[in-house]
Structure 1
């Protein structure tokens, strides 16, 4: 069977993905985690030095002024590539004439230059303890963020801990052990196929599955690297849906996501690279929708 040029390129990328790529990914995550440790120390020791913008407000307030710093969970990595981005889930109490309210805020921080200086609350949950009423407040910028950020803004503490574990596991992902892939990969990705797992399980969005049997016949006997959990369809700007390699699956905001590798020359329509080198880009994509 004649291979389509785009699959030849994907196979070539897999074959040449060596120790250099593994070191590059692990090094980038390690450097980003060191910056997150600095942010955590700054939140705990110098909250007055961090400026935060609240939803629907133009002015910035210090984290200390907002009273959110005492109960901030450790920052979680959002993007390992510069500028490094992180998220903190913080909680505080506010007192007013109307009573006491509990505030939970999803604060996204961008590392600029050599310091963490400002953050933006993309989502707040205000719990009026007197009236027993909870009201979410979202920043207008949240609508334009990629699906990963929207999921993180609504994530539970347990889901964020799971994401942190995924990042840490990627440091030691043995990319250098990936062999070249066999010829014969089908050309067209089935329209409603979201993911094809290594154990044969399917994640579908509908019944338009033309070509699925060809993909199953190619995928099932293939000797797959241990790090690859599944193939995931990712929409690209120029080539329709292209397969990416799933390294991990998790939940954010109650929705399923996958951490995937895509060849660096592909242009995904919505998901932005969390890390990249000359061969690969690391993405977080929704598994219940095309993203």
Structure 2
């Protein structure tokens, strides 16, 4: 049941809210009344945590965004997963103070982040939500939220966010940056930000970090490679040729990610071979990472070089 403040705003604005619903139904033929009503109930924890004088604009934002989410089947039984609804119920209320100030931006930013990260293979979305919730009381602005979200996404396995996350950390207050990066006690942020760019396998005190990682699988089992991959170093990552496709692979202590590349790039790259003691395996390396492949597996083993 909705609390009186929430229900009162909806009742007082019944005509305008009904008009918004009719407009949304024209725009989104898949919009379900039942899904939308359940969403409004689900968002009650956010409204309950907002100061009374800010309930009206927050409810307006929840209503409009909920119509879009329901209309695009990003919530409800037809959604890809229930994660976004779970985030609205459990994570978003942690940011109630910031939502009260900037409801459209904050609710939109958090929703977009969850929807996007769900589509990034290998990203640990539960970890991202846990990290964000743990930092919520220290996040005092939309800019800080954007920065912390990027850092948490990198730490949750989105390796291609690494450079942007480190740049974002440099713009945060030192205590928040250190907390977001899970720095060891006593570490100074300036020293950490000097060290991290050159050491993608830095672990610090972070239980989610590892100095070895296995990435990839056969497409028939949900992986990205339709043939055992061949690998060449390229800058801070690797070019990967598997079957008829070429990728750029980035990997670090938190995860690995693939982006599209071209056959011409792969053919131009130096093999970068290094010795390996493993039978039937080949190894190559860039400045920080060794990649090991075999004609008998679709996986790539990645290890810190030092």
TM-score, with structure 1 as normaliser: 0.28
Using CA pairs under 8 Å that are at least 6 residues apart, name the structure with larger relative contact order, 1 or 2: 1
Richer in strand (by share): 1
TM-score, with structure 2 as normaliser: 0.27
